[in-house]
């Protein structure tokens, strides 16, 4: 029997989830949830899946249950953190949605509520925290550690033993060299190359990466 999946989000991240779920026989997506309060979406279908309404409406329609799992398919860090807190408080359980064409090492650990797209690679002994998004072509090398709510853009690469703190964003093509730490809520711009640790809350860009 398939597990029912409720996807919180109705934008591009949600479409990634739908694409992955089509290849996962154990998941049945029962609805999308508009997290931006856009009534024009309510009752519409995206990829054949209905948009049930906003968050409060969806919570009323689909209560927690033993065969229900949820995932938060949104990119905004603050909104995602707040939504996860709400869902945890209401008793919902999270699942990770991993495209079958993602390459996940047998010794890697993947937390709850993650989205890992096709073509992503997570190497041996890497640890991915809850509610992370790893986009297509991204590589998390051996012994890497991602805290919660990390977003790794398409083609971004972390070298061995890299640590990304909570809420870190790596934009497309960013590179973090081995043994570096990017601290909580820092942002690494597209194509930047990180040669040393990045302080919390800092945005770095360029080659080598420097504070913006």
Q: Which residues are catalytic?
A: 142
Dist CA 19 CA 95 (whole Å):
16
Dist CA 73 CA 75 (whole Å):
7
- In the block, tokens 């973090």 appear at 176
| 3 state DSSP class of 209 | coil
Give the C-alpha distances (Å, rounded to integers) separating 140 from 39, 122, 163, 185.
Answer: 38, 5, 10, 18
HEC string for 19-44: HHHCCCCCEEEEEEEECCCCHHHCCC
Question: Which of 55, 1, 50 minimizes the C-alpha distance to 28?
Answer: 1
């Amino acid at each position: 029997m398939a597990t029912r999946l409720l996807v919180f989000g109705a934008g591009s991240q949600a479409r990634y989830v739908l694409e992955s779920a089509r290849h996962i026989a154990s998941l049945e997506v029962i609805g999308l949830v508009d997290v931006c309060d856009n009534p024009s979406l309510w009752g519409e279908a995206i990829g054949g899946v209905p948009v049930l309404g906003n968050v409060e409406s969806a919570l009323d329609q689909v209560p927690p249950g033993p065969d229900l799992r949820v995932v938060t398919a949104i990119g905004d860090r603050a909104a995602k953190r707040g939504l996860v807190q709400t869902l945890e408080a209401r008793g919902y359980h999270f699942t990770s949605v991993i495209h079958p064409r993602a390459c996940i090492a047998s010794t890697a650990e993947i937390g709850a509520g993650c989205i890992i797209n096709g073509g992503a690679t997570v190497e041996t002994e890497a640890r991915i925290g809850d509610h992370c998004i790893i986009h297509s072509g991204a590589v998390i090398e051996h012994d890497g550690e991602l805290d919660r709510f990390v977003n790794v853009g398409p083609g971004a690469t972390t070298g061995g033993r890299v640590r990304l703190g909570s809420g870190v964003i790596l934009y497309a093509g960013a590179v973090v060299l081995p043994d570096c730490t990017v601290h909580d809520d820092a942002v690494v711009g597209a194509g930047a190359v990180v040669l040393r640790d990045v302080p919390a809350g800092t945005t770095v860009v360029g080659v080598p990466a420097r504070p913006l």
